[in-house]
Amino acid sequence: MILLLLLIVITIFIGLILYFSRQVIYPQVLTHQHVRKLELEKELYDPDDFENYASEDVRIQSYFGYTLKGKVYLQEKTDKFVLLCHGITSNYEDMYKYCKIFLDRGYSVMIYDHRNHGLSDRNFTSLGYYEKKDAKKCIDYLMQRYNEPQVGVFGVSMGAATAMQLSTIDDRVKFCIEDCGYSDTERLLKHRALEDHNALIALLLKPSDIYTKLFYKFSYKDASVIHNINKITCPILFIHGDQDDYVPYYMVHELHEVYKGDKELLIIEGARHANAINTNKLKYVTGVHDFLETYGI
């Protein structure tokens, strides 16, 4: 009887570890149709804004063998680009509201779906760890296809973490703009476990991390940019809403304080997670333009 009870407890424990890990690496993702419908219903962007730009569908073979799918909108002169990275569970439809900021400054833009999201091939999500190599492959594509343009990167939430992690490994990035990215993945996941579940689930963080390391070859610490942010050599604009409790507001101050390079900080009062541009579009757009103007990019 004791052995049976012990077996049941172990089985439940392993099941909870698998549950926690799969919540992270196999999140439920939204379709393009769903995100597009939400964005248009809220009038977050005007499709007519893109009619005057040539566009191309993009298929990119990743370093790991799967296909990434996206789209580019092109200026007549394609000498500078910005790569836009969406957040977890979403897809590139969510990035159209940011595109016009850069198109208005003469940038061509590329939007794409992360691995395991949208139209790109299915794989597991790694909170930016493997996604940064996919973003690097996108820059390879832009460099080859458009004769080595200048390229900046912009990201929201997990896309922001991806943008920063990309910038640590690719010095071709001319600027990085991160909106509500996280500094420390372990502390973020503990925070989310406590907020979304309970203290028991939060206790599973460490064994879940061990499981993820064994079977998926990355740890949660590997996806934390705070440890190597000073490998970045380009200017960074840090953006966060002061009412963000999904990725805690304090994390932007951690990132901003630790980074020793050229940097600016833009706080949007009253904004919750990934909602800064919707909360105060004028301040948001002006802040991005001022950053690009300050550093001549």
Domain coordinates of the chain in residue numbers?
Answer: 1-29+190-216, 31-184+224-294
Rg (CA), the chain: 20
**Model confidence over 113-150: pLDDT tens digits?**
999 999 999 999 999 999 999 999 999 999 999 999 99
Contact 239, 180 (CB under 8 A): yes
For residue 10, pLDDT over 80 is answered with no
β-bridge mates for residue 240, sequence order: 267
Contact criterion met (CB below 8 Å) for 174 and 154: no
Q: Which two tokens stand for residue 218?
A: 């990355």
- What is the dotted CATH code of the domain comprising 31-184+224-294? 3.40.50.1820
Per-residue pLDDT of 40-59, as tens digits, reads 999 999 999 999 999 999 99
Which residues have C-beta within 8 Å of that of residue 14, sequence separation ≥ 6?
none
Helix axes of 158-169 and 131-145: crossing angle, nearest 10 degrees? 70
Give CA–CA dist 165/225, Å, rounded: 6
